[in-house]
Structure 1
Amino acid sequence: MNLPNKLTLLRVCMVPVFVVFMLTDIGGDANKWIALTLFCIASITDWLDGKIARANNLVTNFGKFMDPLADKLLVCSALVCLIPEGKLQAWVVIVIISREFIISGFRLVASDAGIVIAASYWGKFKTVSQMAMIILLIADFGGIFTTIEVILIWIALILTIVSLLDYIIKNLEVLTKGGM
């Protein structure tokens, strides 16, 4: 197993630990900072594994499958954990997670039809905005940051919808070739 794939697996393994610190008081007052640190490290591995894989020609089918799955696990887990804390409304999380299910299903149908759907810049912007939003929501600095959090929530939500529409519009042939 190559280094990028190990980093992807590390990210997957970090998710339950992150969730424990988000949803319990096992670490006391340090919980949010531990969770924030875990989320940031996991987010960095997302960037790093892709960079290493592309730079060293280490792209594998395992990585193509697991990397986006690991990202979805991390982000969706964080979003769900932020609901009971009152930092995100459930409808926002449902919209974001629904987009992930739709795109995953779309990619599965495309794959069956022999079509590879590459990641788009809109998808990358969406991921970065969601991760930035999650980091600020976990940190909960207050003050002016509360306004920035609200702005980031709306930016992430808009980019989620725009990236979904972008994927569908650019890949309409999947609807006909994939038997949908």
Structure 2
Amino acid sequence: MSIPPAKQVPTLNIANVLTVVRILLVPFFIWFLLLDDSADDGSGLFRWLAVAVFAVAIYTDKLDGDLARSRGLITDFGKIADPIADKLLIGAALILLSVLGELWWWVTLVILIRELGITVLRFAVIRYGVMPASRGGKLKTVIQTFAIFLYLLPLAGVLGDWYSWVAIAVMLAAVAVTVVTGIDYIIQAIRLRRDARSAQRPDSPTS
């Protein structure tokens, strides 16, 4: 009796659609945040619209992951596109916050260099296998997102200096986790490449 082939998960599914929607929201987030650059206190309507778009985009990240796992909609496209969508959103937010003078450039550069480096690494080892987001990588995204959200909310003028210090502390924690998980991904890539080459190597030389 033959075993039926495993069911193929279509690339076009609700989880992947939400991932693409998150990518499409990035230009709107950028536009709204830049439009509010003229506001004296940075708390105009467009700033709040940028915060709202960022929040919606982050929610789609959680939603598409939940749907992919609960409905068995995990695909190679999703494994690659999901972290890329996260990096586009996070990267845009960090760069704009630095451009607006609200975040140190060194923080943005450290995070972006790590994110770009790991993205390039994913594609470099894709012939050996897909390297999905790890738990540490997901934690990194959560902390980065929370830190950026604190920076985006125009509440420092209302709540005082303590709010700014909380935002700085969370951002520094995000930088630390970003660096540590980046090193972990490098180790994963080395192991993936080594294991794939070992599997391809014959047990003994052919005569």
The AA in structure 2 aligned to 1:20 is W
Cα distance in 2 between the residues matched to 1:27 and 1:56: 45
Structure 1 residues 28-39: aligned runs within 5 Å: 29-39=44-54
Matched, 1:158 2:176: yes
Whether the 8 Å CA contact 1:21–1:27 is kept in 2: the answer is no
The AA in structure 2 aligned to 1:124 is K
Whether the 8 Å CA contact 2:32–2:49 is kept in 1: the answer is yes
Higher helix share: 1
Same amino acid, percent of matched pairs: 37
Structure 2: unaligned runs, 5 residues or longer: 1-11, 198-207
Deviation at 1:26, TM superposition (A): 9.1
Shifted more, 72-81 versus 118-127: the winner is: 118-127
Structure having the higher Rg: 2
Q: 1:121 aligns with which of 127, 131, 135?
A: 135
- Residue 34 to residue 89, structure 1, CA distance change in 2 (3 Å): same
Cα distance in 1 between the residues matched to 2:90 and 2:98: 13
- Residue 102 to residue 87, structure 1, CA distance change in 2 (3 Å): same
The AA in structure 1 aligned to 2:90 is V
**Residue number in structure 2 paired with 1:130:** 144
SS at match of 2:101: coil
Whether the 8 Å CA contact 1:14–1:38 is kept in 2: the answer is yes
Cα distance in 2 between the residues matched to 1:20 and 1:85: 13
Deviation at 1:178, TM superposition (A): 8.5
Aligned residue-pair number: 178
Cα distance in 2 between the residues matched to 1:156 and 1:164: 12
Whether the 8 Å CA contact 1:109–1:178 is kept in 2: the answer is no
- Residue 170 to residue 67, structure 1, CA distance change in 2 (3 Å): closer
**Residue number in structure 2 paired with 1:109:** 124
- Residue 52 to residue 82, structure 1, CA distance change in 2 (3 Å): same
**Residue number in structure 2 paired with 1:170:** 188
SS at match of 1:24: helix
Matched, 1:90 2:108: no
- Residue 62 to residue 137, structure 1, CA distance change in 2 (3 Å): same
Shifted more, 141-150 versus 36-45: the winner is: 141-150
Structure 1: unaligned runs, 5 residues or longer: none
TM-score scaled to structure 2, two decimals?
Answer: 0.79
